[in-house]
Amino acid sequence: MAIVIHNYRWRLSLAKGETKYDELEKKLSTRPVITVPSITISSDFDGAAIDGKAYANKFTGKYSHKILKGIGHNVPQEDPKSFAEAIFEVDGYSK
């Protein structure tokens, strides 16, 4: 539980992160365009972000978005079949 709480504190800039990742964090904070084939996944409880439209313009490679019902934020454990299918699907995007 302490890791989860620290993650939220870090994301709100209330706690320091891992200094070894500072350069990577700096680069990611510029929100670079993602050029590789990608699939994003949301849950049916993600509210306004459910459709993925808020960040779809960040992807310039082939991109799709999936909405899975009844899952949380741990897709590989909560819906391993859908997660595996998404991996196979995105692998096919580059062929």
Mean pLDDT in residue range 20-33: 89
State how far the Cα of 87 lies from the Cα of 89, in Å rounded to an integer.
5
Distance of CA 1 to the CA centre of its chain: 21
Task: State the pLDDT at residue 4.
Answer: 60
Q: Which of 33, 32, 34 is nearest to 24 (CA)?
A: 32
Q: What's the chain's average pLDDT?
A: 87
Mean pLDDT in residue range 57-82: 92
Number of H helices, E strands in the chain: 4, 2
Sketch the domain layout of the chain as residue ranges. Answer: 1-30, 33-95
* Matching residue, tokens 């999936």: 66
State how far the Cα of 58 lies from the Cα of 62, in Å rounded to an integer.
11
Q: Please give the single-letter amino acid code of residue 77.
A: Q
